[in-house]
Chains A and B, each alone.
Chain A
Amino acid sequence: MPLRYRRVTYRYTNTGADLDRVFRRIWELNRQHAWSHTTRWRPPTDVLESGLGLLVKVELAGVREDDVDITLFEDVLVIAGQRFEEYPEGVDCRAVECRYHESGVRYGAFHVEVYLPVAVDADRVAARYDKGFLYVTLPRREM
């Protein structure tokens, strides 16, 4: 993967405010989850409807296909699974004493429920995992 490298200090566009915003965002996120009634996290999800049917796109990097369960209900599509904290070879620094400066990546059990606004053909539902995104296509049910 190409990588650009600049030997200068990065000039923050919003000095200080950036950090602040980050803190606040975490805080707000945390507040939102303060009354979470579940220990599972929800990955960001897109749901598109077209003439052909529905497309559900889940940002779900770093999971094995085996760790994902997709279940289609009458009116809801449920995608659940686990993401484990893993580091590929050469990048893993955890063996050595290391400490986090920021930990924002969610690990552990996740759970997505997508309400289906249209009737879909259960037999023709397909799923594909590509470049960290999970795509689930749900064709419209022909009448």
Chain B
Amino acid sequence: MAATPPPEAPAAAPAAEPLQELLRGLPAELPIMPLRGLTVFPLAVAPLQVGQPRSLRLLDDVMRDGRVLGLVSQKSPDVENAGPDDCYQVGTVGRIVQLLRQPEGGLMVAVQGLERFRITEWTQQEPYLRARFTLAPDVVEQTDEVEALRRLVADEFQRLAGLANQPEEVAAAIAEISDPRALAYMIASSVRMPPEVRQEILELDSVAAKLERLARFLARELELLELGRRIQSSAQEQMTKTQREYFLREQLRAIRKELGEGEGPDETADLRTRLEAASLPPEARQEADRELARLESLPAASPEHGIIRTYLEWLASLPWNKVTGRTIDVPEARRVLDEDHYDLDKIKDRILEYLAVRKLKEERELGNPDPERQDGDAPGAEAAPALLPTDTEPILCFVGPPGVGKTSLAHSIARALGRKYVRISLGGVRDEAEIRGHRRTYIGAMPGRIIQGLRRAEAADPVFVLDEIDKLSIGFQGDPAAALLEVLDPAQNHSFVDNYLGVPFDLRRVMFITTANAMDPVPAALQDRMEVLHLAGYTEAEKLQIAIRYLVPKQRQANGLRDSEVSFTRDALLHIIRDYTREAGVRNLEREIANCCRKAARDIAEGKRQHVRVTPARVIEYLGRPRFFADVAERTDRPGVATGLAWTPVGGDILFIEAALIPMRGGGRLILTGHLGEVMRESVQTALSYLRSDAKRLGLPENAFDNREVHVHVPAGAIPKDGPSAGITMATALASVATGRLVRSDTAMTGEITLRGKVLPVGGIKEKVLAAHRAGIKRVILARRNERDLEDIPPEVRRDLEFVLVDTVAEVLAQALEPATAADGQRAASAPAERPARRAGKPRSAAKPPAAASA
């Protein structure tokens, strides 16, 4: 056969003709096979599984008779043996392409749709349906609209294919189709859609309409799929996240376990046992339980976790009920006190009385248990006794200069009682929160010092020393002294609430002892609660004893020396006491002794000596030149200088008042120097005014102060001085300079002056007298009303001194000033008289016969 040459125009498929031929050749009537849940479109090839007997029969006949049949869909797929009413009236003429009979009898048939048809008349129902029909070709328009729709539908299908997992060949095949009709049918066959929609598409005549309907359907499908996808992906995400977290946390726990760090529950279990062991009182117990519950529910990473933990640890570590004190044994206490401290008999007696009373009360109380003495409870209304156990016991306060042994006394009390000893220093404490603690909510909150001290003590009944209670100051954070009122009040401190703890703590069993250098700065309310025991300074003799009995042995040991290697002579010690220290206590003395011991130790260690005997000469060798001199005599060798006595927190001291008269026309001015305080200045003015007003009676020249400036100076200029007790001293100095009479160098005085010339008593007599004695004074002039203070002075000092008691300034002047001499008049404003120099430390007795002394 010959090949035809290529035609001019590109051909449309020439085989379209056989189809048209076939369609034209169709009979007027065709067998109709109802389809269940399926719609066959023109051009589509559909596989059918046929089992119904009548359909089988139909197919056999059709195979013999041209293989063409009518396919209509059933309105409802459930109907078996569908009749004409069960079927749609529009279907597709189809041709059987392939057939396979199954062994069971059913048929597998592949049928291809050719053209739409419309049933006009049902002609037969048995053995199968037959009907007359008309062909209903689709209306194909070649418009832009159709083209646009085609593209749209193709696009949508592609997207859908992407989302809904269509096989790739489908999408690829569809991409190739340019015929809108073919596209519409192909897509309608492939995409899952409800049978009604399929039928609808089939029945629409125009291809444009079909495409449109398809477009709408696809759009909706896309939306739903899109939505479903989003939901699913977000759900997945969420799941993944939760899973991830859980997984990571589990890993963390496992790691922690490996490291041996406690897991949450273990930590709290540990705390729980400790809290149990601490035997908390009910309120504290409640609080602890509450906080434990909170702790367990918090993750370890939370910042609150740490705060609660710390709090619970505090609760667990406080000695709520631990007592260590033995029953008080008074003789034993005495022994211990004596062992630690020399003398201080009065103090020791007081302490022992205190202990004895406490002991009796405790013993008697144990016989009658007080219903109120429940730990931590507030006194209830049902309680009867008026006298609570420690109701009236005051708190001891040791007052005295530094170094006298206040703190160490408290320490030995603790030892005597067998109790724990804890000490807090209140020096410089300005903040009330130091006493009471901060509330837990603050960062870095801690309980106050009281509770902290108790924790350190690990006992509920320690000896608690509050050192330097006079050094509390009021800051803008509150008044710590006021906070202490509660602590130190025995009627209140059984339920002391620290701000941090939040629960009451019973302080009744604590023995508080306070110390101070002076009572003045202490608020009255606080003073009221305390019983003040004064520890004045030590006399020379006492210091000597202390040195011999305590200081030297202690320092020997501290410096690694044996007893036989170092010894001090009495004179050496006295030398040190007198010339190397000027203090009320023994601190410096101890230091100097330590100095000597160290140097001796060096000598011995270097092999220079085997044994060191410390004599006064050796003292000079070790310690250098003496530091302190008694310089009384030199200073009072001209008129206008009087010796006064002052009280300082470190003990008494002598001071000199100097007065001078300066010629000045007009005069009348009073100059005061020497860093004097207000009261002292006023007392100078008082003195001056009195002298001027009563000059004649006192034997002063009438014009002594006329045309003169008066200048009073109190060395040393840098040290602030205040107080009225130098009043008579001022008067004496002024009188001395006015009359030109010298003041006796062996005399010192102290007393307040009034405008009428009376002498008033002053305080601190003991310290002042001791100071006078130290400085080599022989006579002390005092107000008569200060006589009873002389009892406090040790007898050996009293023996050495002569005390002159006066009522008026006139008497003072009579006692203090040397008798008038002719030379006095010139000396009123002259150069100092010559006096032979003294050997340091030894006062010379007056050259002139002393004035009559009064007892």
Contacts and interface: CB of A to CB of B under 8 A. Distances in A.
A143 interface: no
Nearest to A110: B15
Contact of B15 (A30, A99, A101, A109): A109
Interface stretch (A2-10, A33-41, A47-55): A33-41
Interface string B156-198: 0000000000000110011001010010001001100000000
Contact of A122 (B5, B15, B186): B5
A95 B102 CA distance: 24
B766 interface: no
Given A27-B47, A36-B44, A103-B96, A19 B103 contact: yes
Interface in B72-125: 95-103, 108, 110, 112, 114
B186 A37 contact: yes
B179 A78 contact: no
B3 A36 contact: no
Contacts of B173: 35
Nearest to B18: A109
B248 to A, nearest CB: 48
Interface string A92-129: 00100011111110111111000000000010011111
Contact of B44 (A35, A107, A126): A35
Contacts of B18: 40, 82, 108-109
Interface string A52-81: 000000000000010011111110001011
Contacts of A126: 2-3
B63 interface: yes
A1 interface: no
Interface residues of B, number: 47
Given A30-B98, A103-B98, A109-B15, A68 B43 contact: no
Residue of A98, A100, A129 contacting most chain B CB atoms (<10 Å)? A100
A32 B46 CA distance: 10
A29 interface: yes
B58 to A, nearest CB: 12
A20 to B, nearest CB: 10
A82 B16 CA distance: 11
Contact of A69 (B4, B44, B63): B4
Contact of B45 (A34, A71, A102): A34
Nearest to A106: B97
B3 A33 contact: no
Nearest to B19: A39
B1 A65 contact: yes
Contact of B170 (A22, A30, A35): A35
Contacts of A109: 15, 18-19
Interface string B185-216: 01001100000000000000000000000000
Contact of A35 (B99, B101, B174): B174
B64 interface: yes
Contacts of B19: 39, 109
B329 interface: no
User: How big is chain A's contact interface, by range?
Assistant: 35 or more
A31 interface: yes
Residue of B4, B18, B114 contacting most chain A CB atoms (<10 Å)? B18
Interface in B544-575: none
Contacts of B60: 99-100
Contact of B11 (A23, A78, A103): A78
A70 B110 contact: no
Interface string B7-48: 100110111001100100000000000000000000111110
B624 interface: no
A136 B103 CA distance: 42
Contact of A125 (B3, B10, B22): B3
B385 interface: no
Residue of B1, B4, B19 contacting most chain A CB atoms (<10 Å)? B1
Contact of A37 (B67, B99, B179): B179
B100 A70 contact: no
Contacts of B103: 19
B100 A23 contact: yes
A34 B99 CA distance: 15
B6 interface: yes
B170 A33 contact: no
Interface in B363-422: none
Contacts of B7: 71
B111 to A, nearest CB: 9
Given A94-B64, A106-B97, A34 B4 contact: no
Given A30-B110, A38-B13, A136 B3 contact: yes
A22 B95 CA distance: 21
Contacts of B190: 34-35
A108 B2 CA distance: 23
Given A23-B100, A39-B114, A72-B4, A34 B179 contact: no
Contact of B47 (A30, A38, A99, A136): A30
A77 to B, nearest CB: 9
A99 B65 CA distance: 11
A18 to B, nearest CB: 12
A100 B99 contact: yes
B10 A73 contact: yes
Contacts of B15: 38, 40, 80-81, 109-111
A36 B112 contact: yes
Contacts of A33: 45, 97, 110, 112
Contact of A23 (B10, B14, B43, B108): B108
Contacts of B101: 100-102
B11 A34 contact: no
Given A73-B6, A101-B101, A36 B43 contact: yes
A35 B189 contact: yes
A41 to B, nearest CB: 8
B652 to A, nearest CB: 124
Nearest to B181: A37
B2 to A, nearest CB: 7
Contacts of A32: 169
A43 B170 CA distance: 22
Interface string B795-831: 0000000000000000000000000000000000000
Residue of A26, A68, A128, A129 contacting most chain B CB atoms (<10 Å)? A26
A136 B2 CA distance: 10
Contacts of A74: 6
Contacts of B22: 108
Nearest to B22: A108
B3 A72 contact: yes
Given A30-B45, A70-B3, 10 more contacts: A23-B108, A31-B47, A34-B44, A34-B45, A36-B112, A68-B1, A107-B67, A109-B15, A111-B15, A126-B2
7 A-B pairs with the lowest CB-CB distances in the bound complex, closest first: A103-B99, A109-B18, A37-B182, A33-B45, A30-B110, A30-B47, A99-B60
Interface of A: 19, 22-23, 26-27, 29-41, 65, 68-74, 78, 80-82, 94, 98-104, 106-111, 122, 125-129, 136
6 contacts: A30-B47, A35-B44, A78-B11, A100-B99, A101-B100, A122-B3
